[in-house]
Structure 1
């Protein structure tokens, strides 16, 4: 059996670091692609990463390119392409520019890797994955967005820091859009099997929830000249692993919900079973009234972004 072929579009911080995580875990052979104006930059990053292989001990091949020919026949395509946030800029501010970028990427993927599972990472996430799905015309289950794994990781990190416990023992779930309206689910959060509300007061839990919602903005404000990339890249690599190894991971990601949760045909963060076929199942939870209200508010924010994208892209 041959190795999986993984294409990562966008050789910036998130894309290159995702390639690093994937190569180190030997998830497959990797093609790192960027726009022609970057000239040999993706080749340089790929060569540098390959030269780490004898040290780290991986046999994945990594190549860099500014053309889509070498990406042909990819099993998984990750889209990280787009401009990054700057201080004071929201994910929504990226909408117009990144919608055009991901549309162009999707056209190329459609032509070169028609059977791939596609993971969108570009922001604003929920609108971008909807746009990619529209352009690709792939079955919905083969197009998804990375957000839930990252947001949950931030939530779990802050909980572990507060409680002084291993992050490995913190289990959590978030739903909704990737942004200020995301919905951490305390009812689905536990530490070593102990419900979180037995360990933290509502006040402290609420503060941690707010910090998780603003986790990306906090890093942008600290970095000054860029946005987060280690954790987003690691989260994406975990999704790639679930697909290429058919792991059937139950994780949150942006998936196409039609009848599920009453969303009506939009990509939004929900728990899914992720495997070789992509989103193999959307797991529907019985939300309480407070959780449902917060989720629907988040869905409305996603719908507004998608409507604006459609308008900007001319229908």
Structure 2
């Protein structure tokens, strides 16, 4: 009798765990480019995210072995691997969030045109599959050059009548993560306490941290106090590349993309009112795409929080970056139309 009670209780406990997981975290995430340097670290972090129920790993090769390896990790999410382009539709099936980290990374000395030529065709190949298989998924693009690739992706989705500006994001979270770290060093506080909006784009001279809106307050008497930190943030990726080599700043990017993906999943679940900066279609400036703080929700972008009030030197820096950002956006759109 006692043994039967234990069996029933054990079965009930198992069912409760499965029911709880299903109810609180029912999210499918697909990582495209999962076997790259960023993709592997990102996939591991997502496997550890309790909001991810199913993790689909796609790459041209090695994804099946990587999925088998990760399936032995003691978390509740299921992992599946898919290889070669003909398997991409299966990887995308029912995805709630698609994260694209595929393509060549930005290397020191590489131009935007070179990166666009290398990575543009890849994005144009991927987007029609997303439009057909999971048109309501939130799409987070990490592939460089972000300033041009996101408008290119938007054009590809428009051709399939599947573009929703609230669901397409260029991930710029790594700029925010770095800014928080650098400011925490200056203020001698825990980095997790720091908040700072980072607006603009994702190339070195289009990244603009709004230091006058840092919390805790970062004391700025004039622009001479701010410019060194802005330069440090803009040069951060190149500085890592110089020391680390062509592999680049893979770990901070993987960490940052995992944070952004988690925020998207929280928004989809209607939890926590997440706010993150990202590069999206926008009307807050003359640029048709621009990074600002966004309130995330069940439809992706719930509200674009826009540009906070700027000091004179910040407004001047904003004016300086807009022409380059416009040029990058045009390059991405033109590339999509030509192809």
Shorter-chain TM-score bucket reads: 0.7 to 0.9
1:261: Cα distance to partner?
3.1
Query: Which has the greater radius of gyration?
Result: 2
User: How far is the alpha carbon of 1:64 from its aligned partner?
Assistant: 1.3
CA distance in 2, matches of 1:143, 1:15: 19
The alignment of Structure 1 onto Structure 2 pairs a total of residues equal to 299
Which of 226, 249, 256 is the equivalent residue of 2:274? 249
Taking the TM superposition and a 5 Å limit, the aligned residue runs for 1:99-110 are 99-110=120-131
Aligned to 1:208: 229
Which among 76, 81, 86 is matched to residue 59 of structure 1?
76
1:183-198 → structure 2 map (5 Å cutoff): 183-191=208-216, 195-197=217-219
The CA RMSD measured in Å over matched residues stands at: 2.0
CA deviation map 1:259-308 (0-9, x unaligned): x2343xx2211111122311111112333443233223323212111222
Contact 1:160-1:166 within 8 A present in 2 as well: yes
Structure-to-structure mapping, 1:40-79, within 5 angstroms: 41-51=62-72, 53-54=73-74, 58-66=75-83, 67-68=87-88, 69-79=90-100
Question: Distance in 2 between the 1:91 and 1:46 partners?
Answer: 33
Tell me, in whole angstroms, the C-alpha distance in 1 between the residues paired with 2:298 and 2:142: 19
Task: Name the CA shift for 1:313/1:243 in 2 (closer, same or farther; >3 Å).
Answer: closer
CA spacing shift, 1:152–1:216, aligned 2, 3 Å: same
Shift of 1:143: 0.6
CA distance in 2: counterparts of 1:302 and 1:45, whole angstroms? 37
Instruction: Determine whether 1:303 maps to 2:326.
Output: yes
Q: For structure 1, which runs of at least 5 residues remain unmatched after alignment?
A: none
2:57 maps to 1:32 = yes
Cα deviation per residue 1:159-188 (whole Å; 9 max; x = unaligned)?
A: 222333211222211110112221111111
Q: How far apart in 2 are the matches of 1:299 and 1:22?
A: 34
Q: Which moved more, 1:305-314 or 1:246-255?
A: 305-314
* Partner Cα separation in structure 1 for residue 91 and residue 328 of structure 2: 33
Find the aligned partners of 1:95 and 1:64 in 2 and give their Cα distance: 27
**Is the Cα contact below 8 Å between 2:266 and 2:274 reproduced in 1?**
no
Question: 1:4 and 1:308 mapped to 2: Cα distance?
Answer: 34
1: CA distance between counterparts of 2:81 and 2:196? 36
Q: Distance in 1 between matches of 2:117 and 2:319?
A: 25
**1:279 paired to 2:304:** no
Give the secondary-structure state (helix, strand or coil) at the position aligned to 1:140: coil
Once the two structures are TM-superposed, the CA of residue 312 in structure 1 deviates from its matched residue by 3.7
From the superposition, tell whether residues 184 and 129 of structure 1 become closer, same or farther in structure 2 (CA, over 3 Å). Answer: same
201-210 or 156-165: bigger deviation? 201-210
The 2-side partners of 1:90 and 1:204 are apart by: 30
Determine if contact 2:155/2:337 at 8 Å carries over to the other structure: no
- Residue aligned with 1:190, SS: coil
Q: 1:224 aligns with which of 236, 240, 245?
A: 245
CA distance in 1, matches of 2:309, 2:185: 29
Q: Secondary structure in 2 aligned to 1:238? A: helix
Q: Determine if contact 2:289/2:329 at 8 Å carries over to the other structure.
A: no
Cα distance change on mapping 1:30 and 1:91 into 2, 3 Å: farther
Shift of 1:203: 4.1
How far off is 1:92 after superposition?
A: 5.0
Structure 2: how far apart are the matches of 1:201 and 1:23? 45
Structure 2 length-normalised TM: 0.82
